[in-house]
Copies of this chain bind each other. A is one copy, B any other.
């Protein structure tokens, strides 16, 4: 053991942690603070992925139910602007949540980020928030006409419309929650 005595060059107070590749300034102090921060960020990442997958499923369901909702005559979703709006937003939301979920899975499996994380946090937050607003807007616009139709005719057309609207409201709730998480991530981002 060649112990070269240079006592004042490096202070050996902080032992090197195992896998230090993204040692961001932690809010706690020392190694426990960093570890707790990592654990929280990991939880947020997984929660965000799960929410997006659920949002994707609900949007896809809304899209399929509304797109197949043509039964001839007046029972055709394409004749009503509200239902076309519901369909358009369902497609948009399906594409957005699907793309985000794919990107997150790819990031988790390879550990690499394609885009810089600051841009990503911005896109995440504004994307989630705008899609949430669009979903609640589309669902709200289609509810009154469906209500009126169901007073007269309670058949498969109005039932399918109601189902598609319900799916869209569920997708809205999920996206609104996802926007909360993204907003939290974004606010921390600007402080690193």
Chain A residues with a Cβ under 8 A of chain B: 27, 81-82, 129, 132-133, 136-141, 143-145, 147, 176, 180, 183-184, 186-188, 191
Contacts and interface: CB of A to CB of B under 8 A. Distances in A.
Q: How many copies does the complex hold?
A: 2
A183 B176 contact: no
A31 B106 CA distance: 43
A82 B146 CA distance: 12
Chain A interface helix/strand/loop/mixed: helix
A184 B137 CA distance: 24
B81 A144 contact: yes
Residue among A81, A180, A187, A191 with the highest chain B CB neighbour number at 10 A? A187
Nearest to A185: B187
Nearest to A172: B133
Contacts of A188: 187, 191
Contacts of A140: 136-138, 140-141
Residue among A81, A136, A144 with the highest chain B CB neighbour number at 10 A? A144
Closest 6 CB pairs of A and B: A187-B187, A137-B140, A140-B140, A140-B141, A183-B183, A82-B144
Contact of A136 (B27, B137, B143, B147): B137
17 contacts: A81-B144, A129-B176, A132-B133, A133-B176, A136-B136, A136-B140, A137-B137, A137-B140, A138-B140, A140-B140, A140-B141, A141-B141, A141-B143, A187-B187, A187-B188, A188-B191, A191-B191
